[in-house]
Amino acid sequence: MADNTKSGVSRRDLLKRAGMAGAAMTIPLTPVGGGDAAAAPPAAIVEAVAQTPRREAIENLTAAEADLLEAICARIIPTDASGPGAREARAAHFIDRALGGALASSKPAYTAGFAAFDRYCRSSRGKPFLELSDRDQDSVLIDVETGAATGFQGSSAAFFGMVRTHTLQGTFGDPFYGGNANFVGWDLIGYPGVRTNVSADDQRLGVKLTPNHKSAYDTEMFTKATASLTTNAEKTHGH
């Protein structure tokens, strides 16, 4: 979500909590919709938006659910001066696709959570989430994250935690699974990609590797058949 020192959860804090503090500490933050960055987006953002494919057909969510999820993901990891966010990474597409496979056990929680989330937005802010300003969207998400939002099955914090976890997976996971489009997530945190060969020079302290922009399954060591088997195993065990 946008950086709000009084009540919001900053993008820097989110990346730090995801175990990416080293990358996050090098990223200057500018709130979405504010400052010069909003008037003239960095070239990296413009390029990523231009390269983002049109959204594929929805596989497991309704159209309304997919639009709501897209908007929530976009506030959890927003597009800002540091670069593209969850929207450009197609994190929502990753989640929709995974709800028919590895994340199938989470589908009922998403269905119930979306309904409760919509009711809470309307009752507490007078509008559906998509019609709220960025500030009000962040405010609602803070309520949900802290467990202050009412009407959820159990704590609203559980719903937020699930969506946040899956948004991170869709933004920073291997592109083979439907997210991290154009490797924008890996570029954001400075991850250079899977290396099957690492030279002594590559291991020197402070060296910066050139991103290879390759999925793990582009190498002979990992195959798509193996990835498929892994996904089925995860689904069988309810992961």
- 190 neighbors 127 (Cβ within 8 angstroms): no
Residue 81 scores a pLDDT above 80: yes
CA dist 34 and 7 (Å) reads 17
State phi, psi for 125 to the nearest 5 degrees. -120, -5
Q: Examine the pLDDT at 51 and tell me if it is beyond 80.
A: no
Over the stretch 91-144, which tens digit does the pLDDT of each residue have? Answer: 999 999 999 999 999 999 999 999 999 999 999 999 999 999 999 999 999 999
What pLDDT, on a 0 to 100 scale, did the predictor assign at position 206? Answer: 72
> What are the tens digits of pLDDT across the range 172-196?
999 999 999 999 998 888 888 776 6
The pLDDT assigned to 37 comes to: 40
Q: How many CB atoms neighbour CB 90 within 10 A?
A: 27
In the structure encoding, which two tokens stand for residue 147, read together?
């467990």
Model pTM? 0.70
- pLDDT band per the 50, 70, 90 thresholds, residue 205: confident
Per-residue model confidence (pLDDT) at position 152: 98
Residue 68 near residue 130 (C-beta atoms within 8 A): yes
Task: Please tell me the predicted confidence (pLDDT) of residue 54.
Answer: 59
| Buried-state track 150-189, b at ≥16 Cβ within 10 A, e below 16 | eebeeebbebbebbbebbbbbbbbbbbbbbbbbbbbbbbb
The mean-pLDDT minimum among 6-10, 55-59, 164-168 falls in: 6-10
Report the C-alpha gap between 160 and 146 in whole angstroms.
9
| Mean pLDDT over the full length of the chain | 78
Average confidence (pLDDT) over 41-69: 74
